[in-house]
Amino acid sequence: MTAEKLPDRFEKDFFKHESQQRSWDDLVVGEVYDTEPFEVTPERIQLYVEGTEDYNPFFTDEEAAKNSQFGGLIAPPTILTPIVFAAVPPDSWVKMPGAINPGQRWEFGVPVRPGDTIYCHIKLRDKYIKRGKKYAMSEMHITNQNDEFVCRWTGGLVLQFQGNEEMKNR
Amino acid sequence: MSEILEFGKVDLGYEIPEQSRHITQEKINKNAEGSLDFNPIHIDPAWAKKVNLLGKGTTIAHGIMTGAFMGKIVTDWAYPRGAFLQMLDVKFVHPVRPGDDITARGKVTEKHPRPGDESFVVLELWCENQAGVKVGVGQAAVRIPV
């Protein structure tokens, strides 16, 4: 297994591509997003375990995992978060500074395991205004290198910061 | 491995063990590293103060940090007992900020008998802060093969 390699376009600084982000008004329901496959390394699993303080032995202890219902190491189910953040381009609305998460739903298939290569197909399934806030909602179909179903992830973000004058003056 | 869960022996109303944790900016930063979500609303206190997005001028924890915590209390119960997390559905109804103490709880509210090893239960989940305000609510489905 190789060391983690994030896509060349991955950027930690969410402000860097802010000017290229399209506004909520420009998003078109039904559009799909360009993503890159992501290889899940033990390093990424360890970072995610530490970040979520979820030290279940099935995620990091080979012996414990071998004797489990999974028959080997798995990643925490919500490991899909860094996979998607790595996979989507830096100018995606998913990375808009100030975006607020209202909720998410994951329907799981086979677990993610170290060494897997994960593919995300992302579609904007809805956008709407509710109580003055602008929502963008996506649906992600996530599979692995064997074309097995890993997850159907539906959810979105509140992009209430769109057009805020303060953003331009930060 | 703990004692294996048996679908027939899981009672409606059963409350899985709750868990609590203290939230700090350091933990939020660590979550950003793990999740690759470096949105400044989570990790940049100066910017968060300037834009005052949710009224208190602080950063807020990642919603999925709360969601993963709500999922953790389910997998900590289910995984060592031979069961599988099938679905997790969470809504973040109040911001979690540095300094908060949050507690996640869950209760079995539905039982779905199925042929073979496909039976599952649904748990209602909720997460509260130190003031008793719900910060997250949701559901999880757990498949219990035995």
In a domain, B1, yes or no: no
**Type of residue numbered B92:** F
Instruction: Give, in degrees to the nearest 5, the angle at Cα A65 between A61 and A66.
Output: 115
Query: What is the Cα–Cα distance from B68 to B90, expressed in whole angstroms?
Result: 9
Q: What CATH number belongs to A26-41+77-168?
A: 3.10.129.10
- Contact at 8 Å (CB) between A158 and A72? no
Rounded to a whole number of angstroms, the distance from the CA of A59 to the nearest CA of chain B is 11
pLDDT digits (tens, 9 = 90+) for B43-102: 999 999 998 888 899 999 999 999 999 999 999 999 999 999 999 999 999 999 999 999
In a domain, B90, yes or no: yes
In a domain, B133, yes or no: yes
Residues 29-48 of B with CB under 8 A from A: 30-41, 47
pLDDT of B4 higher than 90 = yes
In a domain, B112, yes or no: yes
Question: Of residues B80 and A10, which shows the higher confidence score?
Answer: B80
Instruction: Give, in degrees to the nearest 5, the angle at Cα B23 between A16 and B26.
Output: 50
Q: Which residues of B touch A81 (CB under 8 A)?
A: 35-37, 64, 68
Nearest to A166 by CA among A94, A95, A97: A97
Q: What is the CATH number of the domain that holds B123?
A: 3.10.129.10
Domain total for chain B? 1
Query: What is the Cα–Cα distance from B40 to B48, expressed in whole angstroms?
Result: 7
What is the span of the domain harbouring residue B22? Answer: 7-143
Residues 6+ apart with CB under 8 A from A159: A24, A93, A96, A99, A134, A135, A136
pLDDT of residue A71: 97
Instruction: Give, in degrees to the nearest 5, the angle at Cα A124 between A118 and A125.
Output: 110
In a domain, B2, yes or no: no
Mean pLDDT score of chain A? 90
pLDDT of residue B139: 98
Q: Which residues pair with A154 in a beta bridge?
A: A105, A139
Q: Domain residue spans in chain A?
A: 26-41+77-168
Q: Which residues of A touch B33 (CB under 8 A)?
A: 47, 51
Q: What is the mean pLDDT of residues A122-147?
A: 95
Q: Is B83 on the interface with A (CB under 8 A)?
A: yes
Query: What is the Cα–Cα distance from A16 to B17, expressed in whole angstroms?
Result: 43
Partner residue facing B71 (CB), from A51, A78, A160: A78
